[in-house]
């Protein structure tokens, strides 16, 4: 087997909790592209149309977007499984993949056929009722793969009989949904410079949208739109603009807390050198939300590079740590809202944005976009103007906020994982409630003067967990109309993976210890649980086949919090 090179991470072992990589996982990769067929594809497989994608939020039969719909509410509209009967939920089948490594996939289900992904960019097509395999695609990785936080993949996009997947060697691959054969692939960016792809792409109106990872390597972030038919590049939006990255020189965050910045020192540094924008980071980790009515794409932009050493990058560092609205047709800027100006704590915007409705300051119901932050807040923003309406009460402890990192380390809560990490929120639109999976990991922040290393890991210091302090998670419900926390459930380990809400009045969430649980959406009361034997660190989905509702979730563990590895997707139904 031809070896391939994964760039090493030069950092203290503590950082495995933030952006770790398990080197032993390399043994799981099969480095030859191939599609193996186990049985003929089901005749029921539908060619997913744009109309089906547009109406997916109300479709209880299928799950056609990684986050359920273009709005990304992760709200399933069926209620066959509900608060009254969820206690009778049992496994319908367990599908075991060939890859024993971190799983973050949100499966797509099209008319009884499920498409799921694994680390190292394997794709499986299986029967969504029985778990029988149709085909298995193994992506052939290039000679260089640069990843910060594991060789994960979060799923595919589907449209018109084609699947689209981003790969950790920075490619976009189109597969025939029926056979798994490669139709085309394009190189998105150069992995030798730190670029990689783990997000599930978005398909809309003949375009495939995909962002990029690499904020820990000094990349220049972007969203690109490709022609779905042939992979031709249509437009690129850079999350780091050519000019104006300094922003407004904000001295406070949106909650009014002082950022302890030396603005005069930063301005003097900018006057000497403004060329750093080419390596300022701003990766886009998760699938964008799309408002078809206003033709707007909403993306969450990640941290600046280097993460902790801010002296080399003066200014607000736009559009890092921001929610950005982009014109769907042109790829041009509409507006932005920055959560953490001049971030030197890695408390960036990672969780995917969600489109819903909430009351504004005058009590009027308006269209909003919400973001779950590593800061521990959910931010409610006017979708048309980009103005902040409110931020939620803190969902986790906050202490010594915005203390400046030091060589010896400064303690601050939350730690660098949050809060809400990449985990998708879920929203129950009837209750106007958002549900967020949070982490509590006390850390010290250490800064080090490090010049740009040319595509290698570039943190400018380290984040270190504090062994004497407890780590835990918290599943939190927030009232979007008031910002008040409605309820919270503490878990023994930090939460990462994402949430599912249903019209049956339920909220589903997994834990690192293998438990997959259902809660009452109104009260947070635990109603059901099942242990999957490995970390449930992926967002669940729901669908129907033959009149039966199913709940599916991957249990493969996670690199960032080093939860127990597995290789399976568990599927549940009432019995």
**Which residues does the annotation mark as catalytic?**
346
Can you read off the two tokens belonging to residue 497?
Answer: 């993976």
Alpha carbon 232 to chain centroid, angstroms: 25
Phi and psi based region of residue 198 (left: phi greater than 0; alpha: psi -120 to 50; beta: remaining): alpha
Q: Are the C-beta atoms of 62 and 111 separated by less than 8 Å?
A: yes
Q: How far apart, in Å, do the first and last CA atoms of the chain sit? A: 46
Kindly report the backbone phi and psi dihedral angles of residue 508, in degrees, each rounded to the nearest multiple of 5, phi listed first: -110, 140
The answer for residues whose C-beta is within 8 angstroms of residue 319's C-beta and 6 or more apart is 239, 240, 241, 282, 301, 336, 338
Determine the 3-state secondary structure of 533 from DSSP: coil
Query: Distance between CA atoms of 221 and 279, rounded to whole angstroms?
Result: 9
Q: Calculate the alpha carbon distances from 325 to 199, 243, 319, 355, 454 in Å.
A: 18, 18, 11, 12, 30
Residues in CB range of 401: below 8 A, 6 or more apart: 257, 412, 413
What are the beta bridge partners of residue 297?
A: 290, 326
DSSP E strands, 345-460 = 354-359, 365-372, 378-382, 388-391, 410-412, 426-428, 433-440, 443-447
What is the torsional sign of CA 341, 345, 350, 356? negative
Tokens representing residue 66 in the block? 């990684």
Give the list of residues 6+ apart from residue 264 with CB closer than 8 angstroms, or none. none
Task: Report which secondary-structure segment, H or E, holds 234.
Answer: strand 233-238
3-state helix, strand, coil in the chain (%, to 5): 10, 35, 55
SS3 label, residue 19: helix
CA distances from 550 to 272, 460, 505 (A): 59, 46, 15
Measured distance CA(141)–CA(210) in Å, rounded: 19
């Amino acid at each position: 087997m031809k070896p391939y090179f994964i760039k090493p991470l030069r950092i203290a072992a503590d950082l495995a909790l933030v952006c770790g990589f398990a080197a032993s996982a390399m043994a799981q990769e099969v480095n030859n592209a191939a599609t193996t067929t186990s049985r003929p594809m089901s005749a029921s497989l539908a060619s997913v149309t744009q109309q089906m994608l547009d109406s997916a939020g109300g479709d209880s039969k299928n799950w056609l977007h990684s986050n359920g719909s273009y709005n990304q509410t992760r709200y399933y509209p069926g209620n066959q499984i509900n608060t009254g009967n969820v206690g009778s939920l049992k496994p319908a089948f367990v599908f075991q993949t060939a890859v024993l490594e971190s799983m973050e996939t949100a499966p797509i289900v099209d008319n009884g056929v499920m498409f799921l992904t694994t680390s190292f960019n394997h794709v499986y097509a299986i029967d969504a009722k029985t778990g029988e395999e149709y085909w298995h695609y193994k992506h052939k990785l290039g000679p260089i793969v640069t990843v910060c936080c594991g060789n994960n993949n979060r799923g595919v996009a589907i449209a018109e009989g084609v699947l689209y997947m981003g790969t950790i060697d920075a490619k976009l691959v189109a597969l025939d949904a029926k056979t798994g054969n490669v139709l085309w692939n394009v190189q998105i960016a150069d992995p030798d410079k730190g670029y990689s792809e783990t997000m599930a792409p978005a398909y809309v109106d003949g375009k495939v949208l995909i962002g990029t990872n690499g904020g820990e390597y000094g990349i220049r972030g972007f969203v690109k739109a490709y022609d779905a038919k042939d992979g031709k590049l249509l437009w690129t939006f850079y999350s780091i603009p050519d000019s104006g990255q300094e922003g407004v020189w904000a001295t406070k965050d949106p909650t009014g807390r002082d950022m302890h910045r030396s603005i005069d020192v930063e301005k003097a540094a900018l006057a000497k050198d403004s060329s750093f924008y080419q390596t300022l980071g701003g990766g886009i980790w998760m699938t964008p939300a799309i408002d078809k009515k206003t033709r707007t794409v909403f993306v969450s932009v990640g941290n600046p590079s280097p993460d902790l050493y801010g002296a080399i990058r003066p200014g607000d560092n736009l559009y890092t740590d921001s929610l950005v609205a982009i014109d769907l047709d042109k790829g041009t800027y509409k507006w932005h809202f920055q959560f953490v100006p001049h971030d030197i704590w890695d408390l960036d915007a990672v969780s995917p944005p969600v489109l819903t409705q909430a009351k504004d300051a005058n009590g009027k119901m308006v269209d909003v976009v919400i973001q779950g932050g590593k800061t521990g807040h959910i931010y409610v923003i006017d979708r048309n103007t980009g103005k902040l309406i409110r931020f939620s009460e803190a969902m986790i402890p906050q202490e010594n906020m915005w203390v400046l990192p030091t060589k010896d380390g400064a303690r601050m809560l939350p730690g660098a994982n949050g809060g809400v990490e990449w985990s998708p929120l879920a929203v129950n639109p009837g209750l106007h409630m958002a549900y967020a999976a949070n982490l509590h990991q006390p850390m010290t922040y250490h800064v080090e003067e490090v010049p740009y290393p040319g595509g290698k890991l570039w943190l400018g210091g380290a984040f270190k967990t504090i062994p004497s302090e407890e780590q835990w998670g918290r599943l939190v419900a927030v009232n979007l109309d008031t910002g008040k926390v409605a309820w919270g459930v503490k878990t023994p380990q930090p939460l990462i993976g994402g949430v599912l809400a249903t019209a049956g009045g339920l909220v589903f969430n997994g834990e690192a210890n293998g438990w997959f649980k259902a809660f009452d959406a109104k009260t947070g009361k635990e109603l059901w649980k099942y242990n999957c034997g490995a970390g449930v660190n992926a967002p669940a989905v729901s669908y129907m086949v033959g009149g039966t509702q199913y709940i599916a979730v991957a249990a493969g563990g996670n690199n960032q919090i080093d939860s127990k590895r597995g290789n399976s997707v568990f599927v549940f139904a009432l019995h």
